[in-house]
Amino acid sequence: MFRYLIRRILWAIFLFLVITFVTFVIFFMAPNNPARAMCGGDQAGPVCLKTATEKLGLDKPLPVQYGLFLKRLVWEHSLGTSYATSQSINETIKQAAPVTASLVFGGAVCWMIIGLSVGIFSALRPRSLIDRAAMVFVLIGVSAHPVWIGLIFSYVFGVRLHITPIANYANFFGAPPDSGLPGGPVQWAYHMILPWMTFAILFAALYVRMIRANVMETLNEDYVRTARAKGAPEQRILFSHVLRNALLPVVTMLGMDIGVALGGAIFTEYVYQLPGLGRTSVIAIQAEDLATLEGVVVFATIAILFFNLIVDLLYAWIDPRIRLS
Amino acid sequence: MRRRLWLSVAMLVTGASLLVASSFASAAGNAGALKKGGIWKYGTTGASVQVDPQLAYITTAWWLEYATAAKLYNYPDKSGPAGSKLVPEVASHFTVTNGGKKYTFFIRKGFRFSDGSPVTANSFKYAINRTANHDLASPGAQFITDPTGTNIVGAKAVNDGNGTNVSGVQVKGNRLVVNLTKGDGTFMAKITMPFFQATSTKLPLDKEVVNVNGNNMPAAGPYYMSRNDVNQLTSLRQNKYWKPGPGRTRPRNLTGIDVQWNLNEQTAFQQTKDNQLDEGPLPAAEVQGVASQYGVNKTRFFTKPVNCTGYLPMNTANNLFGKNLQLRQAVNYAISRPPYVQQAGPYAGQPWTHLFNPGVPGWRNVTLYKKNLTKAKQLASGHMKDGKITVYYRSSGSTNPNQAQIVRQDLINLGFSSGNITMKGFSGGNIYDAMGKRGNDADIGVSMGWCSDYPDPYDWINILLYGPSIQDENNVNYSYFNNPRWNKRMENAAKLVGPKRLKVYGQMDIDIMKKAAPMAIERTYNNRYFFSDRVNPKGLVYQGIYQDWSIPAMALK
């Protein structure tokens, strides 16, 4: 087990180096000049551009810049400062990560509630009106882009019906004093309802289909028939025999999808103006701010590698065949 | 006697009537006064800007700075020509001696920063020291270290990293003395830029202030920045130590303004329509609808000119346009300006044919080139060289590529065969880096432009077309125009002051565009604004110098 753990950690470090280096190379392969943003954009004058290039360290060769980045990360635990705003990137991540976490984990709860309830009901009543309606929902959920869904939700529930806010984020722990912005747990949940629903629709659609198929398959297993023959009540058969087995792959998939969902958060965050990691990345790309972009990539990489490592170790613990292989 | 009594009664009644009428008139006047108080909520799709006074540079940053800054001299919160006349603010007056090389400003008492500390001559010296500081890398340094323009004694040395004190700036009691290496007609326009506002020594000399909370970045203007959360929220609030008095005559209606950054364009537009934001973005597709619904410059939709000019620089360092005035003039006659402007949507600007737009002092209202393909072809005949042309264009968005296609078609109409036109796309502002590198292969650039840094024609003619300033890279003379005769004229014009300076520059703009044609001017620009129903249109004062609404003048209903 110890050797397996060491192997996995070394592999995670290698992956981390590859991902961060590739991000660096891709950024510098595209023609751009982050110094220009500090000098008034299109207006940038030669003196200012020269000074800003030196200040950002962009006059140094690429491998040196990458080396400095790694040194700063490992020794100082610092992701550096933004090219565009001069803010500490650690601070940027610290502010943005909880917003994305709110969206992803809240969205995951929503899609699991929708997926489980609709999926199980569809499996129990196949080809019924509800089952067919669920399939229509699945089709729409898979086909429609989150930006479109977000704008429609925002317009219908926010602008027309005034049920929810049109956009913006409310801090769970309260708004800055004298800012006039909403804050606190109630406002936080109120502002997150539409983003959660938008975020959940795509995944809920996929989960409905998968849960329906798994439950229907499990319902035909021998042990379910045996339970029925023994006279077990239908509710007990469903919860103790069917769901326990049918949901095992769903739990596995949920663990993997949370990582994928981090990427999908970009669209939802952008429509609803949530200051999370996704929107931070978009802003960084638009501003040619490699430092911030690299910071988000590093953070997301570490988070995903960490969760993957935990999952791998859990698997190895549960199933000895994995660590032996 | 009786008659006199009647006369007295009549006079009394008349007097009383006048008194009543005047009180009614006064009441009516008060009814028209702007409401005090309220927080203006502004939402923008743009990324947040640097807020440190010596680093803030782009348009939105300066819009905020003009509300928080107290400067030696300032532009009043008025629209039109009245807004471009410099008036004393913290300095009561100034003198110029030593052949235009020594400026002495006399600092008033009574100005205070938002933390209560007084504004002194040293507050301005500190601003110049910070601007020149090597490690801070302020974009303002270029405006006080220009060997051909404003050059404060000792600023270049500090900017090069030799020391931290600009030797040419001295404080003597309430006097601020600024020594220049040579006389310069643009000095007052430059020293009024926000870089040189009264700056508190609370701000570190060589380190940028990024996050603002409370009073860690005090300001001496009517407002100060009370909060800055990068890419999220920036708040201005009233400076409680700013009271009306000598030099402090600016209006102040709002309690403050909150700027939300990086909003989604469509969502923020809906929020503005729904009065959740007071000012928000206006998607191009919505402009016409909004203009029809609310009218133009009446209630909620406004369009105002920006001090920018769009042009196609023709690279005179390369074979095609070098020593080829006829072809450069031919391009000017061949291009289709109205459809080019229309690509940016309704109310985005107007076709234009010379460098000085109506915001540049000394501009003249003339049309130098009307589209005339026959004349263009006559001029181009025999001057197409090998018939090959390389066009640099901006590939981002939809407007820029469409404009490039219009120019391409114009070039085909002029006589270039489509196979001989090489189009090279650049995203964002990268076209400026590419064309700013000496020896680049561009013959012409599309969708390029220049905006005024300070209200003086030097910022246009000498900055964009003065040959000796061309260097290996980072050039802004994208035409690589370098003609000794014109260089001399520019040098002579730079020495002038007052109305003569504007007259000479105004004529040179016309002459150079007609007789040298180093660029084909395409357009002017407008900003388009969309407001909520909470906004009082009477409080909207468009300040032409920084090309936005005066924050101190703004008011809610």
Rounded to whole angstroms, how far apart are CA atoms A287 and A281? 10
**Pair (A20, A154) in one structural domain:** no
Q: Is B150 helix (H, G, I), strand (E, B) or coil?
A: coil
Q: In chain B, how many H helices and how many E strands?
A: 15, 20
Contact B264 A167 (CB under 8 A): yes
Tally of CA atoms within 13 A in the half-sphere of A23 that contains its CB:
24
Q: What six digits make up the tokens of B118?
A: 């007084």
CB B479 within 8 A of CB B315: yes
Mean pLDDT throughout B146-159? 91
Classify residue A86: in a domain, yes or no: no
Rounded to whole angstroms, how far apart are CA atoms B24 and B33? 14
Classify residue A171: in a domain, yes or no: yes
Contact A85 B474 (CB under 8 A): no
| Per-residue confidence (pLDDT) for residue A34, from 0 to 100 | 79
B305-526 matches B39-263+532-549 in CATH topology: no
Rounded to whole angstroms, how far apart are CA atoms A36 and A55? 12
Rounded to 10°, the helix B373-380/B399-414 angle is 70
Q: How is residue B308 annotated by DSSP?
A: E
Facing B430 at nearest CB: one of A32, A92, A279 = A32
**Pair (A198, A295) in one structural domain:** yes
Contacts of B476 in chain A (CB under 8 A): 45-46
Alpha-helical (H) ranges within chain A are 2-29, 46-56, 62-76, 89-124, 129-143, 146-153, 185-219, 222-229, 234-236, 244-246, 248-271, 277-286, 290-318, 320-324
- Alpha-carbon distance A306 to nearest alpha carbon in chain B (angstroms): 28
Instruction: Output the CA angle A56-A61-A65, nearest 5 degrees.
Output: 55
Rounded to whole angstroms, how far apart are CA atoms B426 and B77? 39
Please say whether the structural domain B305-526 has been given the CATH code 3.10.105.10: yes
**Pair (A235, A306) in one structural domain:** yes
Interface check for B211 against chain A (CB to CB < 8 A): the answer is yes
Rounded to whole angstroms, how far apart are CA atoms B231 and A46? 27
Beta bridge partner(s), residue B256: B39, B237
Rounded to whole angstroms, how far apart are CA atoms A195 and A199? 6
Q: What are the backbone angles phi and psi of residue B199, rounded to the nearest 5°?
A: -125, 130
Interface check for B273 against chain A (CB to CB < 8 A): the answer is yes
User: What single letter denotes the amino acid at residue B501?
Assistant: R
Could you tell me the sign of the dihedral formed by the alpha carbons of A119, A124, A127, A129, in that order? negative
Q: For B311-352, what is each residue's pLDDT tens digit?
A: 999 999 999 999 999 999 999 999 999 999 999 989 999 999
Those residues whose C-beta lies under 8 Å from the C-beta of residue A161, and which sit 6 or more positions away, are none
Q: Which residue has the tokens 């003086």?
A: B456
Q: For B176-202, what is each residue's pLDDT tens digit?
A: 999 999 998 889 999 999 999 999 999
| B211 CB-contact burial (10 Å; exposed 0-12 / middle 13-18 / buried 19+) | middle
Rounded to whole angstroms, how far apart are CA atoms B476 and B461? 11
Interface check for B48 against chain A (CB to CB < 8 A): the answer is yes
Give the closest residue to B535 by CA, choosing from B243, B277, B150.
B277
Rounded to whole angstroms, how far apart are CA atoms B205 and B488? 39
Facing B47 at nearest CB: one of A32, A272, A286 = A286
Classify residue A239: in a domain, yes or no: yes
Q: For B440-455, what is each residue's pLDDT tens digit?
A: 999 999 999 999 888 8
| Per-residue confidence (pLDDT) for residue A320, from 0 to 100 | 63
User: What single letter denotes the amino acid at residue A306?
Assistant: F
At residue B556 the predicted structure's pLDDT band, cuts being 50, 70 and 90, is very high
**Pair (A122, A204) in one structural domain:** yes
**Pair (A15, A123) in one structural domain:** no
Instruction: Report whether pLDDT(B510) > 70.
Output: yes
CB A138 within 8 A of CB A205: yes
| Per-residue confidence (pLDDT) for residue B40, from 0 to 100 | 96
What strands lie across the sheet with B39-43, from one edge to the other?
Answer: B212-213, B223-229, B233-238, B256-260, B39-43, B279-280, B519-531, B301-313, B448-451
Q: How is residue B117 annotated by DSSP?
A: P
> Which residues constitute the domain of residue A272?
93-324
Domain count, chain A: 2
Classify residue A110: in a domain, yes or no: yes
Contact B429 A87 (CB under 8 A): no
Interface check for B283 against chain A (CB to CB < 8 A): the answer is no
**Pair (A149, A9) in one structural domain:** no
Q: For B529-550, what is each residue's pLDDT tens digit?
A: 999 999 999 999 999 888 899 9
- Alpha-carbon distance B509 to nearest alpha carbon in chain A (angstroms): 20
Q: Higher model confidence: residue B497 or residue B234? A: B234
Alpha-helical (H) ranges within B106-161 are 121-132, 155-159
**Pair (A61, A27) in one structural domain:** yes
Q: Which residue has the tokens 């234009």?
A: B352
Q: What six digits make up the tokens of B106?
A: 């006399």
Mutate to test the interface with B, among A48, A194, A274, A286 (most CBs of B within 10 A): A48
Q: For A253-273, what is each residue's pLDDT tens digit?
A: 777 787 778 777 888 998 898
Percent of chain B having pLDDT more than 90?
Answer: 82
Classify residue A85: in a domain, yes or no: no
CATH number at residue A105: 1.10.3720.10
Q: Give CA B533 to chain center in angstroms.
A: 28
Q: Higher model confidence: residue B359 or residue A175? A: B359
User: What does the CA dihedral B274, B278, B279, B283 come to, rounded to 10 degrees?
Assistant: 0
Q: For A74-117, what is each residue's pLDDT tens digit?
A: 888 888 888 888 889 999 999 999 999 999 989 999 999 999 99
User: What single letter denotes the amino acid at residue B210?
Assistant: V
Chain A and chain B share a number of CB contacts under 8 A equal to: 152
Instruction: Report whether pLDDT(B406) > 50.
Output: yes
At residue B14 the predicted structure's pLDDT band, cuts being 50, 70 and 90, is very low
CB B362 within 8 A of CB B494: no
CB B533 within 8 A of CB B524: no
| Of the candidate ranges A60-64, A125-129, B9-13, B503-507, the one whose mean pLDDT is the lowest | B9-13
Average pLDDT of chain B to the nearest whole number? 91
At residue B29 the predicted structure's pLDDT band, cuts being 50, 70 and 90, is very low
| Per-residue confidence (pLDDT) for residue A157, from 0 to 100 | 92
Cα–Cα distance list, B12 to B17, B18, B19, B23, B337 (Å): 8, 10, 10, 16, 69
Q: Is B103 helix (H, G, I), strand (E, B) or coil?
A: strand
| Per-residue confidence (pLDDT) for residue A177, from 0 to 100 | 72
Instruction: Report whether pLDDT(B120) > 90.
Output: yes
Q: How is residue B41 annotated by DSSP?
A: E
Helix-strand-coil split of chain B, %, nearest 5: 35, 20, 45
Classify residue A81: in a domain, yes or no: no
Facing B235 at nearest CB: one of A179, A272, A280 = A179
Rounded to whole angstroms, how far apart are CA atoms A148 and A261? 17
Q: Which of A44, A74, A104 is the last residue of a domain?
A: A74
Instruction: Report whether pLDDT(B27) > 70.
Output: no
Strands B233-238 and B223-229, by their bridges, are antiparallel
**Pair (A133, A58) in one structural domain:** no
Contacts of A44 in chain B (CB under 8 A): 139, 429, 432, 474
Domain residue ranges in chain B = 39-263+532-549, 305-526
Beta bridge partner(s), residue B152: B180
Rounded to whole angstroms, how far apart are CA atoms B4 and A315? 115
Contact A32 B227 (CB under 8 A): no
Mutate to test the interface with A, among B50, B133, B158, B231 (most CBs of A within 10 A): B231
Classify residue A84: in a domain, yes or no: no
Beta bridge partner(s), residue A38: none
- Alpha-carbon distance B56 to nearest alpha carbon in chain A (angstroms): 9
Class of domain B39-263+532-549: alpha beta
| Chain A, nearest residue to B470 by Cα | A46
**Pair (A145, A258) in one structural domain:** yes
CB-CB neighbours of A303 under 10 Å: 17
| A230 CB-contact burial (10 Å; exposed 0-12 / middle 13-18 / buried 19+) | exposed
Those residues whose C-beta lies under 8 Å from the C-beta of residue B272, and which sit 6 or more positions away, are B43, B278, B279, B280, B281, B530, B531, B532
Residue B68 host element (H or E):
helix B59-68
Burial A136-164 (b: 16+ CB within 10 A, else e): ebbeebeebebbebbbebbeebbeeeeeb
Contacts of B58 in chain A (CB under 8 A): 40-41, 43
Contacts of A267 in chain B (CB under 8 A): none
Classify residue A82: in a domain, yes or no: no
